[in-house]
Amino acid sequence: MGIGFWHMRHHSRCFHRTVPCAVTRWLFPVLVFGSMAGLSFGQQDPDYLSIRRLVPGTSERRDDALQETIHRVRQSFQEQQADQLEACFASKKVFISLRSKEAEAGYYTRSQLHFIFDKVFRDLQTRSFSYSPSDVTVSRDGRAYFRSQWTYKVMGSDTTVTELLHFSLEKEDDDWRIFELKSVSK
């Protein structure tokens, strides 16, 4: 018998060909699981790249336009500026689904979004708006995604709410624009 997983004559501790020897008892699982792991490592790269590859201090190129848009979105929520946020939305209709707004989830134009967020910012007081650069991804199809945490106080009450916001962005005229914004309650 050629090289196999069962006893071979040069293993002095193994006496029977049908009983696995000590070497093959650990070698078999290593080879099986190693080959399975090799299959997963042999696949293509994931469909997204971490924004960490795009931030200063790494060897990859930076995407300053994406960083600038995310900064403007963050600043708009912190300063409650509907005008500034409106400029971050795509020119086509944008899908919005927020717990904090009274309008139903749906597709809205920039001017409708300005009106909606003007009302949202009047009715709520932002406590914080944060995101982690590790929660920003760029897909191969030219879209970017990031998650943030928005904490606000409802005006006229002691209620404080935290929403997890999921932003989807596309490039439009060499700048990144929001085409979808969804919230998930925390």
**H, E, C per residue of 28-42:** HHHHHHHHHHHHHHC
Burial of 95 (0-12, 13-18, 19+ CB in 10 A): middle
Write 73-77 long-range contacts (CB < 8 A, 24+): 73/148, 73/167, 73/178, 74/129, 74/130, 74/131, 74/148, 77/126, 77/129, 77/148, 77/150
Over residues 117-131, the mean pLDDT reads 94
One domain, residues 55 and 79: yes
One domain, residues 82 and 147: yes
pTM above 0.75, yes or no: no
Q: What CATH number did the domain enclosing 79 receive?
A: 3.10.450.50
How many domains, in total, are found in the chain?
Answer: 2
> For the segment 39-56, what is each residue's pLDDT rounded down to a tens digit?
333 334 344 444 444 443
Compare 35 and 136 and report the one with higher pLDDT.
136
Compare 72 and 12 and report the one with higher pLDDT.
72
SS3 sequence of 90-135: CCCCEEEECCCCCCCCEEECHHHHHHHHHHHHHHEEEEEEEEEEEE
One domain, residues 103 and 155: yes
Which of 115, 112, 147 has the alpha carbon at shortest distance from 131?
Answer: 147
What burial letters (b/e) apply to 149-163, b meaning 16+ CB within 10 Å? ebebeeeeeeeebeb
One domain, residues 91 and 111: yes
One domain, residues 96 and 25: no
Domain encompassing residue 94:
48-185
One domain, residues 92 and 151: yes
State what percent of residues in the chain have pLDDT above 90.
51
One domain, residues 39 and 54: no
